[in-house]
């Protein structure tokens, strides 16, 4: 048993991560030990926040009784109690309740209902520990959840209520609901938390498919959304195929992923997957269409999850929250943290497709994999360029970016057919041009100064263009975005000229200013070339 | 070039490790190391969860509070 600072002169134990391990993490060489270390650090964070909750909540919702039960459970079965405390929704609940206590959040449930969820956490731990006990847990619209175990339907309850949980030698009851001996099974009035299992080459994966916990969503408490059995069967089958794929193609990453994947939350009506800093190891996602998509999503969210945990250990940035960066995967300006997270996540995605592209297989599949690899590699390169020299990164953040760059630079020599590379370049170039035209605004004074300089001594006309239609379209609609994007891409591909693509917003602004001042449109290609030197 | 020059064995982090702590002690401990860690984490807890979302088929983009 450890007691930080209990003995004078004895330093409190710390979570340590050596720089070589940090560097390996940055370069993508994650292993099981590193992920377990990050998971442990996240658990410490959660335990310390639990202490904060006890300090701030007082006895709101009967917190002290709940804590006594949790203490008893831990003393009987520490590992089982850790499992409940590490359960991702427990982290979401804890952070949410602290935010509510601070007044940052509101919600439909009375605060004592949210604070009272500690009873449900304690009861789940006590069940897992094999204790006999009685507790009262919150009931939300007729449902009472036991985190990591399942959910009971309590009849006759008010909208916000409590139900008795009683564990005796005769079994476990929540209200009138008898919970089966194996709580993962369903029974009348009880929905067990179903666990998906897969095994490949001797490597086992077990992960709950959570459709019941009220705190499974990262933003707000939810009622259960029970998946029908055939839908669960599809998830199960997909996970098995996905696990086969990952173990076969990314064996080291698969080993590292196991301790870092603690729950899957099925989403409906969206194509977006998600993870959150409060819920290490949770991936929320719609059911993927195929194993490759599933694997890509798991790797992407795993990167986010571990990076969140790393940032808790050693701050990587001092993000002021200002959305000002061009992230190649988003149309809108992003804050520094988003850019850093995306670069790290898409690096793993690029590597996933790199490995796929190099495996033997049908040509169309390899071609798709090569395109995906080239596309994500290009995105990551652009993001790393944007992060270079960014003062908002801490020294550790700079070191992380260096590690990611080192990893991606080793891919420079990967063979990608020129036509595939051109398509990837077009996608990235189009995004860049569109983003800059929408969000980058040249200073008016600088634009006017350049226009005056051009009018005083314009550059000679450019040679005859191979893209006259695009030039004419810019002349017809000079203020619109699309003609400039088309011209920028056409010049790149037909004339190997990136002068518009580099700074389309500046070329457009000066073009418009010259036209307004002189009444005549300048030669756009000559202007772009002239601006490239300024 | 790495911005941090550190001995290989130096720890990266300073987070106090309470994973082996008896929960009764966690609730009652009043040593400054632990209380300082609690205060630090409490202060660092932002007003809203930090989410990271990935999706390429959402034409409208996602809400402004999302990270990636």
Percent share of chain A, pLDDT over 70: 98
Looking at the complex, report in whole angstroms how far the Cα of residue A178 sits from the nearest Cα belonging to chain B: 30
Q: What is the pLDDT of residue A10?
A: 65
Condensed to tens digits (0 to 9), the pLDDT of residues A60-114 reads 888 999 999 999 999 999 999 999 999 999 999 999 999 999 999 888 999 999 9
Tokens of A210: 């959570």
3-state secondary structure A258-325: HHHCCEEEEECCCCCEEEECCCCCEEEEECCCCHHHHHHHHHHHHHHHHHHHHHHHCCCECCCCCCCE
Rounded Cα distance between B56 and A1, Å, is 48
Condensed to tens digits (0 to 9), the pLDDT of residues A163-221 reads 999 999 999 999 999 999 999 999 999 999 999 999 999 999 999 999 999 999 998 99
Average pLDDT, chain A: 94
Out of B4, B15, B47, closest to residue A313 by CB: B15
The phi and psi torsions of A160 (rounded to 5 degrees) equal: -115, 125
DSSP designation for A180: P
- Which band of pLDDT confidence, cut at 50, 70 and 90, is reported for residue A415? confident
Residues of A in contact with B31 (CB under 8 A): 4-6, 12
Q: Which of residues 359-418 of A touch B (CB under 8 A)?
A: 395-396, 398-399, 402
- Chain mean position to CA B42: 10
Q: What is the pLDDT of residue B10?
A: 53
- Residues A262-274: what's their mean pLDDT? 93
Ranges of each domain in chain A: 19-264, 321-416, 441-532
pLDDT over 70 (residue A346)? yes
Condensed to tens digits (0 to 9), the pLDDT of residues A219-231 reads 899 999 999 999 9
The answer to whether A479 and A512 have CB atoms below 8 angstroms apart is yes
Looking at the complex, report in whole angstroms how far the Cα of residue B5 sits from the nearest Cα belonging to chain A: 9
Tokens of A391: 């003062």
Looking at the complex, report in whole angstroms how far the Cα of residue B56 sits from the nearest Cα belonging to chain A: 7
Rounded Cα distance between A163 and A126, Å, is 16
Q: Which class for A533: exposed (0-12), middle (13-18), buried (19 or more C-beta within 10 A)?
A: exposed
The answer to whether A275 and A301 have CB atoms below 8 angstroms apart is yes
Q: What is the pLDDT of residue A287?
A: 97
Percent share of chain B, pLDDT over 90: 32
At A149, is the secondary structure helix, strand, or coil? coil
Residues of B in contact with A67 (CB under 8 A): 23, 27
pLDDT over 50 (residue B63)? no
- Which band of pLDDT confidence, cut at 50, 70 and 90, is reported for residue A25? very high
- Residues A355-365: what's their mean pLDDT? 87
Residues of B in contact with A215 (CB under 8 A): none
Q: Which of residues 11-50 of B touch A (CB under 8 A)?
A: 11-27, 29, 31-34, 37-38, 41-42, 45, 47-50
- Residues A387-404: what's their mean pLDDT? 96
Residues of A in contact with B36 (CB under 8 A): none
Candidates B3, B43, B49: best to mutate against A (most CBs of A within 10 A) is B49
Cβ within 8 Å, pair B16-A276: no
The residue of chain A nearest to residue B14, with distances taken between CA atoms, is A14
- Residues A343-348: what's their mean pLDDT? 96
Q: Which of residues 109-168 of A touch B (CB under 8 A)?
A: none
Neighbours of A511 (CB within 10 A): 26
Out of A12, A96, A270, closest to residue B33 by CB: A12
Q: What is the pLDDT of residue B50?
A: 79
Can you give the pTM of this predicted structure? 0.90
Rounded Cα distance between A187 and A140, Å, is 20
Out of A74, A105, A274, closest to residue B53 by CB: A274
Q: What is the pLDDT of residue A99?
A: 95
Tokens of A95: 């952070």
The answer to whether A120 and A144 have CB atoms below 8 angstroms apart is yes
- Residues A444-473: what's their mean pLDDT? 95
pLDDT over 50 (residue A1)? no
Q: Is B5 on the interface with A (CB under 8 A)?
A: no
Q: What is the pLDDT of residue B49?
A: 77
Q: What is the pLDDT of residue A98?
A: 96
pLDDT over 60 (residue A532)? yes
Query: Which residues make beta-bridge pairs with B53?
Result: A274
Tally of CA atoms within 13 A in the half-sphere of A94 that contains its CB: 30
- The residues, ordered by sequence, that sit 6+ positions from A76 with a Cβ below 8 Å of its Cβ are A129, A130, A131
Looking at the complex, report in whole angstroms how far the Cα of residue A423 sits from the nearest Cα belonging to chain B: 17
pLDDT over 90 (residue A258)? yes
Which among A61, A69, A87, A70 is positioned nearest to A212, based on CA atoms?
A: A87
Condensed to tens digits (0 to 9), the pLDDT of residues A464-507 reads 889 999 999 999 999 999 999 999 999 999 999 999 999 999 99
3-state secondary structure B2-64: CCCCCCCCCECCCCECCCCCCHHHHHHCCCHHHHHHHHHHHHHCCCCCCEEEECCCCCCCCCC
């Amino acid at each position: 048993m450890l007691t930080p600072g209990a003995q004078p002169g004895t330093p409190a134990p710390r979570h340590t991560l050596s720089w070589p391990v940090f560097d390996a993490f940055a370069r993508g060489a994650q292993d099981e030990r590193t992920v377990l270390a990050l998971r442990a650090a996240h658990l410490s964070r959660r335990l310390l926040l639990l202490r904060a909750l006890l300090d701030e909540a007082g006895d709101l919702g009967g917190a002290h009784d709940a804590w006594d039960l949790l203490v008893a459970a831990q003393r009987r079965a520490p590992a089982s109690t850790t499992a409940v405390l590490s359960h991702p929704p427990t982290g979401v609940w804890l952070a949410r309740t602290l935010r509510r206590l601070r007044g940052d959040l509101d919600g439909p449930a009375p605060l004592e209902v949210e604070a009272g969820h500690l009873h449900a956490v304690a009861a789940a731990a006590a069940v897992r520990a094999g204790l006999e006990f009685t507790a009262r847990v919150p009931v939300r619209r007729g449902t009472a959840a036991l985190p990591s175990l399942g959910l009971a339907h309590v009849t006759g309850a008010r909208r916000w209520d409590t139900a008795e949980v009683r564990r005796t030698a005769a079994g476990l009851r929540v209200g009138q609901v008898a919970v089966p001996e194996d709580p993962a099974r369903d029974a009348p009035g009880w929905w067990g938390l179903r666990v998906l299992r897969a095994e490949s080459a001797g490597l086992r994966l077990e992960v709950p498919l959570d459709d019941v916990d009220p705190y499974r969503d990262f933003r707000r408490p939810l009622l259960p959304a029970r998946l029908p059995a055939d839908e669960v069967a599809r998830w199960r089958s997909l996970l098995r195929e996905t696990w086969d794929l990952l173990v076969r193609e990314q064996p080291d990453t698969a080993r590292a992923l196991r301790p870092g994947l603690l729950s899957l939350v099925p989403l409906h009506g969206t194509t977006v997957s998600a993870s959150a800093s409060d819920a290490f190891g949770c991936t929320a996602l719609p059911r993927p269409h195929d194993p490759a998509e599933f694997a890509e999503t798991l790797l992407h969210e795993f990167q986010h999850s571990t990076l969140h945990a790393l940032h808790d250990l050693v701050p990587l940035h001092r993000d002021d929250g200002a959305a000002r960066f061009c992230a190649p995967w988003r149309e809108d300006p992003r804050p520094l943290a988003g850019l850093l997270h995306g670069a790290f996540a898409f690096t793993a995605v690029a590597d996933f497709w790199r490995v796929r592209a190099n495996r033997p297989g049908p040509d169309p599949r390899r071609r798709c994999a090569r395109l995906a690899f080239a596309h994500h590699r290009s995105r990551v390169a652009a993001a790393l360029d944007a992060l270079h020299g960014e003062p908002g990164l801490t020294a550790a953040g700079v070191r992380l970016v260096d590690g990611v760059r080192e990893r991606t630079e080793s891919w420079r020599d990967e063979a990608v057919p020129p036509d595939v590379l051109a398509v990837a370049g077009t996608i990235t170039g189009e995004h860049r041009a569109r983003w800059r035209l929408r969000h980058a605004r040249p200073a008016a004074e600088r634009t006017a100064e350049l226009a005056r300089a051009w009018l005083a001594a314009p550059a000679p006309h450019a040679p005859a263009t191979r893209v006259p239609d695009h030039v004419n379209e810019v002349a017809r609609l000079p203020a619109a975005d699309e003609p400039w994007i088309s011209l920028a891409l056409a010049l790149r591909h037909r004339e190997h000229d990136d002068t518009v693509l580099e700074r389309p917003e500046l070329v457009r602004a000066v073009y418009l200013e010259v036209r307004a001042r002189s009444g005549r449109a300048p030669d756009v290609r000559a202007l772009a070339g002239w601006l490239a030197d300024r | 070039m790495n911005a941090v020059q550190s001995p290989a064995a130096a720890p990266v982090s300073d987070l106090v490790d309470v994973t082996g702590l008896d929960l009764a002690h966690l609730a009652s401990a009043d040593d400054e190391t632990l209380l300082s860690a609690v205060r630090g984490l409490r202060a660092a807890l932002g007003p809203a969860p930090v989410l990271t979302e990935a999706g390429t088929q959402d034409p409208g983009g996602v809400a402004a509070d999302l990270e990636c």
